[in-house]
Structure 1
Amino acid sequence: MRVIMVVPTYQEADNIAWILGRLRTALPAVDVLVVDDNSPDGTGRIADEIAAADPQVQVLHRVNKGGLGAAYRHGFAHALEAGYDVIGEMDADGSHQPEQLHRLLAAIEGSDGGPAADLVIGSRWVPGGTVVNWPRRREALSRGGNLYVRALLGISVKDATAGFRLFRREALEKLDLATVRSTGYVFQTDMVVRALRAGLSVREVPIEFVERVRGDSKMSGKVAVESLRRITAWGLRERRDQLRRMWSRSRSRG
């Protein structure tokens, strides 16, 4: 399989060379696509220098800071056009450890003893998953947010907000990226829900998530609240549509 990891960046000059070096060392056969949102700190320039010396590293430059989801959609479209079989996501800040990517690859192939999958998620909240250097408040927010997502949207995925993932190309083609409108962090949950509703197989494998040690996190309380607000709107709309379908069926029987 041809595999590529899409790495969105904004203001990651302190981390980009470090994380790309780790990824290329951990899995030399895996290609990398950096999608930079015009970082003022020179992240894109550093990525270009790395790509000039390594043909397995590519860089896409976006004009504006359009959000995580928009960057991933751009990167996914590029990877699909280039013919990759497996397309992945990971952060540039070191929270997703490249040395654990082999777990996700084994799961998507089914070589780990489990069934092959269309989407594999590196999960913090399944047995064996852990977080390092998180304050209790942030862990509670993530666990609570994912519990809320499961209850409201009726899904079983434990870490629907996780950003360490692999998709089979056929899965992304079936999801039709052109119809995805999520631009921010809610994109992660959106894609999980779409995958499940499309009948795709989703697996979670445990990872150790490590809080960044350099640079500033893009996740804030405001971002988290906005994501939950959007998820609430989806859930309420889904419940409304379910009631309408039930009402329609009961009338047709009557």
Structure 2
Amino acid sequence: MRPSTAALPPTLIVIPTYDEREALPGTLARLRAAVPDVHVLVVDDSSPDGTGEWADQVAARDDHVHVLHRAGKEGLGPAYLAGFAWGLEHGYEQLGEMDADASHRPEQLPGLLEAVRRGADLAIGSRWVRGGRVHDWPVSRLLLSRAANAYVRALLGLGVRDATAGFRLFRAELLEQLLAADIASQGYCFQVDMTRRARAHDAVIAEVPIDFDERTEGVSKMSPRIVAEALVLVTLWGLSRGAQRILRRLG
């Protein structure tokens, strides 16, 4: 049974883009069809391929689509932070994130909406809980993602199976608390950082099983630098957590 989205609170989905002119049209069309009441904010980092200009054309004829232009390519984390700040300023009560390339199926957004409706402060579309699936990934990438999440669980104790997931929905009240602090994470480590901070605020976190599809259009933004950043930061956060636990025992 499809989760109900009746009486949906004002909801904004933030989609960061950089050279996603091929992928974004299909993703946006599917999202608008799946949950027509949801608003969408495309945060474009001055894409050379015209993604931002195309999004402007859509926004001109669809009052549920908005565009935020940034001066240049500044990274995934800053794009989401800019989008969340815009959404909070405009009074949205639920704010989410998803990829531009339809790796996250827009048709599964109602599952996240339902989790928040039932009391979650943060709903995560998870690949690694029962019922979650990944399609068309090579074994090497599957192993990397599973190993990364196991490492995060071991060091940070978040109790989350998919802390690196980028398909999420936050209550505005939680985001306001999270954005009050300085968040410097770039790349995909941003997702781990936001999960860690949400847990520190005693947020109710729910993982909803989703299907994750390998992109068929455009080019992945994953790079060795992004992986290295995540490894270093998670290790530092884990060491800090361990030190704090030792100090509490000694105190």
Contact 2:19 2:47 (C-alpha < 8 Å) held by counterparts: yes
Runs of 4+ in 1 over 3 A off after TM superposition: none
Partner-residue secondary structure (3-state), 1:180: coil
Aligned counterparts, 1:69-80, within 5 A: 69-80=77-88
Match for residue 108 of structure 1? 116
Identity of aligned residues (%): 54
For residue 131 of structure 2, the aligned residue among 119, 128, 131 is 128
**Code of the aligned partner of 1:246:** R
Match for residue 74 of structure 2? 66
**Code of the aligned partner of 2:122:** L
Contact 2:128 2:162 (C-alpha < 8 Å) held by counterparts: yes
For residue 210 of structure 2, the aligned residue among 207, 211, 227 is 207
Q: Encode CA deviations 1:96-155: one digit per residue, 9 max, x unaligned.
A: 110110111111101xxxxx1000000000000000000010000000100000000112
Contact 1:33 1:60 (C-alpha < 8 Å) held by counterparts: yes
1:220 Cα deviation (Å)? Answer: 2.6
How many aligned residue pairs are there? 243
Q: Does 1:53 align with 2:53?
A: no
Q: Does 1:23 align with 2:23?
A: no
Contact 1:17 1:50 (C-alpha < 8 Å) held by counterparts: no
For residue 174 of structure 1, the aligned residue among 174, 177, 181 is 177
Q: TM-score scaled by structure 1?
A: 0.93
Taking the aligned partners of 2:225 and 2:34, their CA distance within structure 1 comes to: 35
1:3 Cα deviation (Å)? Answer: 0.6
Q: TM-score scaled by structure 2?
A: 0.94
Taking the aligned partners of 2:74 and 2:187, their CA distance within structure 1 comes to: 8
Larger Rg: 1
For residue 149 of structure 2, the aligned residue among 146, 157, 175 is 146
Contact 2:112 2:208 (C-alpha < 8 Å) held by counterparts: yes
Structure 2 residue runs without a partner (length 5+): 1-8
Structure 1 residue runs without a partner (length 5+): 111-115, 250-254
Contact 2:98 2:167 (C-alpha < 8 Å) held by counterparts: yes
Q: Does 1:197 align with 2:200?
A: yes
For residue 162 of structure 2, the aligned residue among 159, 163, 173 is 159
Partner-residue secondary structure (3-state), 1:179: coil
